[in-house]
Copies of this chain bind each other. A is one copy, B any other.
């Protein structure tokens, strides 16, 4: 990885056009060729960038020139990033090796697994029919069945917002065209459900259930005998 601190002006032309006036910034060049230009503020997102794969062409200018170097970064498409460097304050290259990678825990998939193992925590008369039940327009997170035989489709979200309700509505609409599932009900399950989503769900006849991730994770298989 190469890290420059340089006074530069940047122009991007591609999916949109963008311009950065001359100022001192950090330029990061990764070993895959990707380039990102960071300022000393804002979030982690760079001001400008070019993702890999791309190629960098460097043009050196005369010492008398206002510009020391001009980089032209292009990718396979028609995107172009032009970095005009007036002055370089630092230029270091480091060998970081390959990163062993990030391990995550607590995302939607995990929540879905826990609910698939304990559908009673959604409603005590439910049992699992299938996880990732495939419809023509996408997979329903959980398909369950009540003791009465009634089918129930469950959409699982980490945070319950309007989009999730729309998604479940589409699934329900499609599933109900199948005679076997003509009366399928919907449950919208999330760790936190926003009021707007709750309102829309109610309007659509969909039940909302908030789930406690930590509590679910604490349920040991042995605890099932309590039912």
What residue in chain B is nearest A29 (Cβ atoms)? B40
What residue in chain B is nearest A167 (Cβ atoms)? B166
Any chain B CB within 8 A of the CB of A224? no
What residue in chain B is nearest A92 (Cβ atoms)? B90
CB of A41 within 8 A of CB of B31, answer yes
Given contacts A16-B107, A28-B38, A44-B51, contact A23 B102 (CB under 8 A): no
How distant is the Cα of A105 from the Cα of B102 in the complex, in angstroms? 35
CB of B49 within 8 A of CB of A96, answer no
User: Which of B31, B38, B51 is the one whose CB lies under 8 Å from A40?
Assistant: B31
CB of A102 within 8 A of CB of B5, answer no
User: Which of B23, B52, B94 is the one whose CB lies under 8 Å from A97?
Assistant: B23
Copies in the complex: 2
By the criterion of a CB under 8 Å from any partner CB, how many residues of chain A are at the interface?
A: 54
C-beta contact mask, A1-44 vs B, less than 8 Å → 1, else 0?
Answer: 10101000000000111111101111010111010101111111
Given contacts A25-B99, A34-B43, contact A18 B105 (CB under 8 A): yes
Any chain B CB within 8 A of the CB of A117? no
Chain B positions within 8 Å of A39 at CB level: 96, 99
Other A-B contacts than A20-B101, A31-B41, 6 sampled, CB-CB below 8 A, are A3-B26, A5-B96, A24-B97, A43-B51, A45-B45, A92-B92
